[in-house]
Structures are given as structure tokens and as C-alpha cells.
Structure 1
Amino acid sequence: MTVPDDQQVVVVGAGPTGLLTALGLAQQGLEITVVERFPGLQDAPRAIVYHWSSLDGLERLGLFDDAKQAGFLKQDYAYRVRKTGEIIEYGLGALEGRVKHPYNLHLGQGALANVILAKLQADFPNVRFLWGHEVTGVTQDDTGVDLTLSSDAGETTLRGRWVVGADGAGSAVRSALGLGFDGMTWPERFIATNIRFPDDREGWAQSTFYVDDEFGAIIAKIDESGEHGLWRYTYMEDAALPAETVAERLPRFLASVFGEETAERTTLDSISPYRMHQRSASTYRAGRVLLTGDAAHATNPCGGLGLTMGLFDSYALIETLGAVARGRAGDTLLDVYAELRRTAFIEKASPRASSNKQLVFHSSDAAELDEQLELFRRMSRDSELAAEVLYFTKTLESPSLLAV
């Protein structure tokens, strides 16, 4: 494939955030190259929940119907407390009549990436892909950015007027720029699994937070394919245990949570152990390079706020960078993007995700846990309160920056 020497925008990373950004910019007529170090899309178990507040953006980009068809919509939530047996149920039905999409979308992020890629390849010849190319260097001047790329064919250089780093928490773009990634790494290991087990289990919502300081888990349905539904079961273990034998320890967790009979009827589709972080880049803009998604910030997955933040980053960057690249706004608008998105993560998303983790996985203090759960008990009885609390994820979105 021939790539012009001077692309308007180069997007590094073909995950959902990078592909969304490429799509939104391509829809404005810009010439885009997507660079991905892997030979194709990746589908390791990761985020699966798209909060109601992010679905308007998918619709604006023409993706909502295809994404809905690939996944499914749901409203129910539940907290299930192991020590007491208490089940607290509430749902997004409280948002009906208040918002356009009063439900969440469940869809593996790899599946969403496939939906976006299909649209890009079918409808946008102004988007090109360089698969199997890894960024090893970044230099820039007043007119553009040079990326040094390494592939099986050797080393090449690609120049773009602007570069978007959407290449994950281990971002090569961020590293090459020498930007800090400040914060902390949690001492535990998280394990995301895709498992199939019977759906005929009473008292389990399609999104369940299983509260316990030993067997805590986040359990959410992904789809209804196969004899049994596919579920995401995410739990935590001591990071000192060998990662290579993590699958051998999974049955103990499943039996402890669901009982031996259900555990025996469970099959494992995939498993992915990983470390959790609460980190943010020191800036989300360095000259002509912008960071977005996990390249800009990383959070533990409790509450699904990492992917939500990535989507909102993308929506904001599509608008701002699109306007700047087309000469319709000055580049100081990108400073506003960088500051607002960083503030949203540091002041809202990261603290809330940390609080969620504490509740689900570190609930040894009975009095403190009871106090924290009271809010959800009240939400189950009071739809006005439920709507108010559920609106939190909408506050993670930046307003139209063209009006700032």
C-alpha cells in the first residue's frame, strides 16, 4: 500500500478509541493513516460495557445500529453481598423519558473495533492501514511529525501533520515523547475471563457486582451466542501467584461464587491476567501529538470508566482536531481538549473507579460496607435519586469545545 508522505493525521493504535478517532476525522474528509503494531485487531478480554451516556456519540458517528446488532442493550444492575446474602437491584429504567438512550450497550471492545473497521474499509478510501508496524521514534517540527516505524520489512519513516497516540497504557508514542505517566499500580492482579455458563440462575442481574474481600467479582453478560450465554467474569488475586497458572485457580473462584454444580457446567473461552493502574500522562498534548484513551490515562476496570473515558476523549478530539486540521480553528483549541480531558480523568473518573474497587473487593469492614450500600438501597426505591446518581457518567463528557 502506498501512503502519501504527508498525511493530515496519523492515528497510532487500532483499538476502539483509535478507530473511532480515525472514523470521525475521515468523515470530515481528512486523509488518515492508522498504524498498528499487531498484524490485526486484538480480542483479549477487556472492557465490554458502554454506558448510556456514550451511546449518543456512537449514533452521531453512524455506529449505534451496527453496534446494537452486534451486542445487546440492558438496564439491570445488582449488588450481591457474599457475607450477608443481600441483593440490591436497580436499573437504568430510571432514566427513561430523561435521556435518548436509557440503557447500556454490552459488546466486547474487540467486537466494536470490528464494527468500526468494517465501516472504515467499506466507506472511507481516505483511511489507510499499516498493520504490523511499531512506533520506535517520534520527532516533530512546526509543520508536522515524523514517526519512525519498525516492521518485518525493516525501518521506515511516516510523516503526518498531526499524530494521535491511541496505543494503550504502554503507549510507544507517549514514551517516545518522554511524557510522564504519573500515578500508581495496584498491588493485586486482575483477571478478565470470558466464560459460558447457564443463564437460569436466580438473583443475578446482567451486570452484577459480587461484593467480597476474597471472592469479589464483576460479572456481566456479553452476548447470547452458543448453548449458554457468554459472560465476563473479572476477579482479583495475589500478584505473587504465578500468572502462567491462573486458569488452574479459576475453578475455585467459580465454585465459591456460583456453587460446584454451576462451576462444573462452566466452560472457559479466554482468560487475560493483567495489572491495574491509576495513572495519567503529564499532558495530553505535546506540540502536534495528542494522546487519547489508555495512552492518556489508565484506570482499574471497576465501573467500566476506562472505556467510557476513551470514548469521550475520542468524541472531543474528533471535533477539535478536525476543526484545527481543516483550518477552521486555531491550535490552542487542542490545549483546551488536553486540559479538560485530563481534569475529567483525575478529578472524576479515577477517584470513582478507585472507590468502586474498594467497595467490591475490599469490603472487610462491615459497618463501612453497610454505609456504602445504603445509597444503592435508596436507589432501588427512589427513581429520582437513581437517575441523579446514574447521571454521573455523563459528567465525564466534555461539552462542545468549539463553543468554549
Structure 2
Amino acid sequence: MQHNDVLVVGAGPVGVLNALGLAQAGLSVTLLEAEPAIVNAPRAMVYHWSVLEGIERLGILDAAKRVGFTKQDYSYFVYATGERIDMSVGVLEGLAPHPYNLHMGQHKLAGIALDALRRFDNATVRFDTRVTGVAQDDDGVTVTVETADGTDQYRASYLIGADGAGSTVRKSQGLTFEGMTWPEVFVATNVRYDFEKHGYARSTLQIDPTYGAIISKIDTTGLWRVTYAEHPDTPEERMGARIPQWFEKLMPGDEEYELDAYRPYRMHQRCASTMRAGRVLLAGDAAHATNPIGGLGLTSGLFDTFVLYDALTAVIKGTADDSVLDRYSEERRRTFLEVASPRASANKRLLYHTSDPEQLEAELSKLRVLAADEEGQRKNFLFTKQLETPPLVQPVSAV
């Protein structure tokens, strides 16, 4: 049985970027993914300005910017009245090295990172490899997998579970996923439609208790993400058939649209009881799950990544005690529970649950004041930096 320094389960951005950081540090790493390829489905697609330095340190920001696009415009749109309250990430110019957000599907970033990972002889990638068991002892972790050729096993000193909210790795360690599930079902759609023609910012948060939505441009081909909340009693098999009814209300004009893909999913505010169980570490949605409003889920997962691969490298190379991994778990749980999850919940309530006219007017008054105050906007956009954990060890340099 081949022995690795680290096994990483899950080929989403968090998993691939962790594997890339570890490989760049000279560790032997194997990435395991149950699907036959990186999953291309309507998932996260906004990378806040605050995570771009970490992506740059891994050496793939330029490639990501060539595939996606950068933008600064940002708007709240009140569906019932047509009021738009515009803001701009451009207020961070002079304060941040990258005063803009980056847009592209998360599968694109994972693909870019995977291409970089495959250039390392000390990295191995295995798709169609489903983890079925995890056992650990004092010396390492043994992972049992199912492949097209049958059962196999992998061995490593440590394991990172980045295999999503339904994480097999987390469940294998008996860790609870504490929190709550929202009653509504979100439906994320990818659609070709010219929202900009109708004055929409490329990131638009639409406020309405019925027709609240997140409307954001994904790429330079005219593809947009429209995410709305379906009634919880709607059977999942009917949600696809109901999309035209929703689009009739959500599209600002009467032009034809092209539905590219859609995905219904439940929304959670949950966090693992710990992000470290011995030699098993959790990151991304395997560790914590939030509703997507404000893009704080992937942002949190990327900030997990940027401290985890450095900390784990230091432990394996003997330059840090393994207690640093406990600090990783404690700090990343605290940040999610105290910062990311409360903010995402407040965002959801504003967009989808502000039905009282007085409450709505109070919230809109705050946004109007913010839009007229550049310093207030700076503080608002600097919020995502609060999701970052400072380095727990001396960061390694990318090679």
C-alpha cells in the first residue's frame, strides 16, 4: 500500500487548493474524488477581493482572471418598487491589492488548480474513487475506497475531508453537524439573458418576500446565475417544470432566455462539532455549511484552506507541534459561528423575509445612507476580511 503524507478527499476548490498548497510545499499528496470529473453544476461563483491574495500565493490568480472576469459593481434591487441602491467595491482602491471581486463558476477554479496540481510528481489525482471507510491509528490514516476495479486502500499520515456538506469523512469520525436547516429550497439556475441591458449590476441582491433572488453574472459569455427560494412544499421533481413561472416574474423584459442548468438544494447553517479528529481534518462545506447569500460559504472554505495547508505542512515537516491543528479547528469554527453564519443569516432575512413595510423601510434607509457614504461602504466591504484567520505558522512559499 502506497503511503502519502496527506490524502485529500473531494475535488471541489477547497480540496484541490489544499492539495496544491501541500504539493507546492514538497509533500506527497493524493486527491480522491468520487465523481468521474470535477462537478459542473450551479454552485458558488463569486470570489471576494479578500481571498484573491491567497489564490495569488498559490500561483493561479492570473489564470483565474483570464477565465473569469473582475468587477466592482454591486446593487440592491427592491422588486416591488424598482428602487436600486448601488455600491462599488472600487471604494477599496488603495486599501486592497485586488479591489474587485472575481466571478466564474467554482468548477472553473477547481479545474485551473487541478491543472497546476498535475504538474507535480509528488501529487496523484484519482477520480471515480469513492471513499467508503476511514480508520486511523497512532501512525496514520487508512482510507478504503470503491473504484471501477473494486476495493482499494490508501494510507497517509493525515487526511483532509473536503467532500461537501454530506461529508463521508466527517461521518466516518462520528462528528455531529450542529445547527439548523432552512425550510425553503433554493433553486440555483444558470441562464443566458441580458440583465445588464435592463440596468442590473453584475451582482444584484433582489429584495422581496416572494421574489427575492440573487442575480449575478457568471462569465463573459452572457451566462448569469439566478437563485430564488421555492416553497418548501413543492416536490423536487416539479421544480424544473416551475422554472418558467418563476422566470416570468424574475426576468425584467420579455426577451427569450436559454436555461443552461439548474440545481435545487437545501440551505443550512451548520458546523461540525470539531474540525479535527486526530489525524483527520475538515475544511469547506464538510466543516461548515451556510446559505449562499453574500458568498460567505466558499469564502470561509478558502480561508480554511489558506491556513490549513501551511499548518499541516509545518506539522509533517516537524517545524510545528500538532497542537496547531487544534488551533486551526478552534479558530475556523469560531469564525464561522460568530462571523460568517450570523451575517449570511441576516442577508437571507433581508432578501427573502422582509415582509413588514416598516421593517423594510428601516433596512432600506440604512442601505441608502451606506450608498452615499464611501467610508461606510469601505467598512462594509472590508467585512469579508473578518472571515480570515491569520497564519498559524510561518507560511510556506509557493514553488
Same fold (TM over 0.5): yes
Q: Distance in 2 between matches of 1:189 and 1:279?
A: 16
Quick check: 168-177 or 151-160, which moved more? Answer: 151-160
Contact residue 198 and residue 252 of structure 2 kept, 8 A: no
Contact residue 195 and residue 252 of structure 2 kept, 8 A: no
Contact residue 271 and residue 287 of structure 2 kept, 8 A: yes
Cα distance, 1:240 vs structure 2: 1.7
> Which residue of structure 2 lines up, in the alignment, with residue 334 of structure 1?
325
> Which residue of structure 1 lines up, in the alignment, with residue 154 of structure 2?
158
Q: Which amino acid aligns with 1:351?
A: P
Cα distance, 1:148 vs structure 2: 1.2
Q: Are 1:394 and 2:385 an aligned pair?
A: yes
Contact residue 160 and residue 283 of structure 2 kept, 8 A: yes
Correspondent of 2:346 among 339, 352, 355 = 355
> Which residue of structure 1 lines up, in the alignment, with residue 88 of structure 2?
91
> Which residue of structure 1 lines up, in the alignment, with residue 210 of structure 2?
214
Q: Which amino acid aligns with 1:165?
A: G
Correspondence list, 1:97-116, <5 A: 97-116=94-113
Q: Which amino acid aligns with 2:148?
A: D
Q: Distance in 2 between matches of 1:37 and 1:90?
A: 41
Cα distance, 1:136 vs structure 2: 1.2
CA deviations 1:82-106 (Å, max 9, x no partner) are: 1222110001011011110100000
Contact residue 181 and residue 280 of structure 1 kept, 8 A: yes
Cα RMSD for the two superposed structures: 1.3
CA deviations 1:238-285 (Å, max 9, x no partner) are: 1221212222211222221224613xx111000001111110000000
Q: Which amino acid aligns with 1:296?
A: A
Could you say if the C-alpha distance between residues 382 and 200 of structure 1 is closer, same or farther in structure 2, counting changes exceeding 3 Å? closer
Quick check: 100-109 or 84-93, which moved more? Answer: 84-93
Q: Are 1:134 and 2:133 an aligned pair?
A: no
Correspondence list, 1:133-212, <5 A: 133-212=129-208
TM-score normalized by structure 1? 0.96
Q: Distance in 2 between matches of 1:12 and 1:259?
A: 42
Q: Distance in 1 between matches of 2:205 and 2:91?
A: 19
Q: Which amino acid aligns with 1:85?
A: G
Matched positions, count: 395
Q: Distance in 2 between matches of 1:233 and 1:86?
A: 19
Q: Distance in 1 between matches of 2:75 and 2:288?
A: 28
Structure 2 SS opposite 1:8: strand
Q: Distance in 2 between matches of 1:6 and 1:302?
A: 41
Q: Which amino acid aligns with 1:206?
A: R
Q: Are 1:261 and 2:254 an aligned pair?
A: yes
> Which residue of structure 2 lines up, in the alignment, with residue 305 of structure 1?
296
> Which residue of structure 2 lines up, in the alignment, with residue 292 of structure 1?
283
Q: Distance in 2 between matches of 1:383 and 1:142?
A: 54
Structure 2 SS opposite 1:378: helix
Contact residue 87 and residue 203 of structure 1 kept, 8 A: no
Correspondent of 1:249 among 218, 242, 247 = 242
Contact residue 205 and residue 213 of structure 2 kept, 8 A: yes
Cα distance, 1:403 vs structure 2: 6.6
Q: Are 1:35 and 2:47 an aligned pair?
A: no
CA deviations 1:100-150 (Å, max 9, x no partner) are: 0100000100111111111112x2121101211111111111110011111
Q: Distance in 2 between matches of 1:203 and 1:366?
A: 25
Sequence identity, in percent?
51
Structure 2 SS opposite 1:10: strand
Contact residue 90 and residue 376 of structure 1 kept, 8 A: no
Cα distance, 1:383 vs structure 2: 0.7
CA deviations 1:339-358 (Å, max 9, x no partner) are: 00000000010011111000
Q: Distance in 2 between matches of 1:258 and 1:41?
A: 30
Structure 2 unmatched ranges of 5 or more: none
Q: Are 1:59 and 2:51 an aligned pair?
A: no
Cα distance, 1:160 vs structure 2: 0.5
Q: Distance in 2 between matches of 1:94 and 1:397?
A: 20
- Point out 4+ residue stretches in structure 1 off by more than 6 angstroms: none
Q: Distance in 1 between matches of 2:280 and 2:340?
A: 23
TM-score normalized by structure 2? 0.97
Structure 2 SS opposite 1:371: helix
